[in-house]
A and B are shown apart, each in its own frame.
Chain A
Amino acid sequence: MGNDRRNRLRALLARHDQEGPGSRLRHICALCVKELEVTGAGTTVLSRVDDDGTQHHRGLVHASNAVSTQLEDLQLVVGEGPCVQAFATGGPILVPDLAATYLRWPAFASAAAELGVAAVFSFPLQVGVARLGSLDLYRDRPGPLTPARLADALILADWATAAVIEQVDGHNTSDISWMADPHVEIHQAVGMVKIQLGVTTEVALLRLRGHAFTAGVPITQVAKQVVTRTLRFVPDNEPT
């Protein structure tokens, strides 16, 4: 029975074998949406920056729709949520009802609810002890994954892992352009603010975050303003 399931999924996936980098993961996400009856699927590749696991470098491999894109980003910006936890612990995190998690992940739950997310299922991309990221599924109405769908999801997460490995291992790894960095402008803005204020990277990032918080806008928007030079940070003053 298990083999039938695997074979069926494999056949569905095999139709796309000849395409370029990252496309296999795109098809795995599409297969998730279709076969598992979820609204969206996304994969993010992560590597830990520090030892307590709160900071990550990330590459967004693929998201099947805009909400998934935002969901992938959200979890890492607020630093909590099923994806972060799945990556930290190495086990799937299943949230059939987001509304029940407000105490657990207050920032994540409210922001995700605003996006229209009602259920989230996160699966780490893992082989051995190497943890590479997560596959995150969401639904716009609450409800669990059935056992059969859960089994399918675990298979698809395995394949997503294999696809990432195949893409990265032994290839020219300076080319990770197939993995978007949604925060390119944040990094650039950090560099600019460092010079504008004469401070360290950490302080520059804090100043950007602080301004975003005060102004009530996302940090990506502040970063864009800095990079397009409509916003400058000046020492000892509010930014002009």
Chain B
Amino acid sequence: MTDRPDTANITHRGRENRISRTFVTLADTLSPDFDIAEYLNGLTMRCIDLFDVSVAGVLLLGPDKDQAAVAASAHRAELLEMFEAESGNGPCCDCFRTGTAVQCADLQVQPQRWPAFSTAAHGYGFSAVQALPMRRCDQTVGVLSLFSREPGGATREQVNLAQAFADVATIGILQHRMIEAGDRTNEQLQTALTSRVLIEQAKGVLAERGSLSMRDAFDRLRRYARSHNRRLTDLAAAVADGTMDLDKILG
């Protein structure tokens, strides 16, 4: 009898530590080798570790809306089939569409709510489902879903914690996307702006050498690039820095 409180304390502290570490891990989406599949997978594993559920899955919509990532703690194929079976009518769809949590403690009780999904879930031995939105402000990017073989599913407290995980993950993912887009934009601008300068300089060079208008100079440049399969920017750079035989273009 006197052992139990200590054991319970240690277990409680251990769980608290795992919860804290989960938040830290979810917040860190900034490392250069960030991998979304690994990240989402980690989230599902933490969920089954900490909550009274059998399987956890994440469905995440990509930045281009036609891409999606799916992660699962286990039974990924089954989860995928259940997502498919929803066909617009199911807990994950409802969750995604409304941006609010959708739960069913016992799928047997109301099979008419989501007929196709319930059949599929029952077939795989799941009785309860809890779908939580991955959402920030008015932007829902995915769904964290928890499946249980027994009716009931995760406790209210656990669901609150799972939602907190989903919220932190959403922020982390959106920040990661923003930063990547920023880096790409930086590079693209660098290239585009430099390219524009070189092309204008090349036009000047050709216009002067060939006594052409700027428009004709550009036409010659572009025509030569096409017929000799050279990138316009590279050709312009060569013309601008004098390493190109201009007669070939003016020809």
B148: min CB distance to chain A, Å: 36
Contacts of B189 in A (CB 8 A): 45, 47, 59, 132, 168, 173, 176
Task: State whether A130 touches B186 (Cβ < 8 A).
Answer: yes
Contacts of A187 in B (CB 8 A): 197, 200-201, 204
Interface size on B, residues (CB 8 A): 33
Given contacts A130-B182, A169-B185, A187-B200, contact A195 B208 (CB under 8 A): yes
Q: Does A157 contact B (CB under 8 A)?
A: no
Task: State whether A201 touches B182 (Cβ < 8 A).
Answer: no
A207: min CB distance to chain B, Å: 13
Q: Does B205 contact A (CB under 8 A)?
A: yes
Q: Is the interface of B mostly helix, strand, loop or mixed?
A: helix
A203: min CB distance to chain B, Å: 12
Partner of A173, one of B178, B179, B191: B191
Task: State whether B201 touches A59 (Cβ < 8 A).
Answer: no
* Contact flags B182-206 to A (C-beta < 8 A → 1, else 0): 1111101111111111001111111
Q: Does A149 contact B (CB under 8 A)?
A: no
Q: Does B10 contact A (CB under 8 A)?
A: no
Q: Does A127 contact B (CB under 8 A)?
A: yes
Which of B's residues lie within 8 Å of A, judged by CB?
178-179, 181-186, 188-197, 200-209, 214, 232, 240-242
Given contacts A128-B179, A187-B201, contact A201 B186 (CB under 8 A): no
Task: State whether B208 touches A192 (Cβ < 8 A).
Answer: yes
Partner of B188, one of A168, A184, A192, A193: A168
Interface size on A, residues (CB 8 A): 39
Given contacts A57-B194, A188-B207, A191-B208, contact A168 B185 (CB under 8 A): yes
Task: State whether A57 touches B204 (Cβ < 8 A).
Answer: no
* Contact flags A21-47 to B (C-beta < 8 A → 1, else 0): 000000000000000000000000101
* Contact flags A175-216 to B (C-beta < 8 A → 1, else 0): 010000100100111111111100011000000000000000
Chain A positions 137-194 with a Cβ under 8 Å from a chain B Cβ: 161-162, 164-165, 168-170, 173-174, 176, 181, 184, 187-194
Task: State whether B196 touches A176 (Cβ < 8 A).
Answer: yes
- Distance in angstroms between the alpha carbons of A192 and B214 in the assembled complex: 11
Task: State whether B184 touches A170 (Cβ < 8 A).
Answer: yes
Q: Does A131 contact B (CB under 8 A)?
A: yes
- Distance in angstroms between the alpha carbons of A173 and B197 in the assembled complex: 14
Partner of B240, one of A181, A196, A201: A201
B206: min CB distance to chain A, Å: 8
Q: Does A62 contact B (CB under 8 A)?
A: no
B6: min CB distance to chain A, Å: 45
Can you name 20 extra interface pairs (CB under 8 A) apart from A188-B207, A191-B205, A201-B201? A45-B189, A45-B193, A47-B186, A57-B193, A127-B182, A130-B182, A161-B182, A164-B185, A165-B181, A168-B188, A169-B188, A170-B184, A176-B193, A181-B200, A191-B204, A191-B207, A192-B208, A194-B242, A201-B241, A227-B214
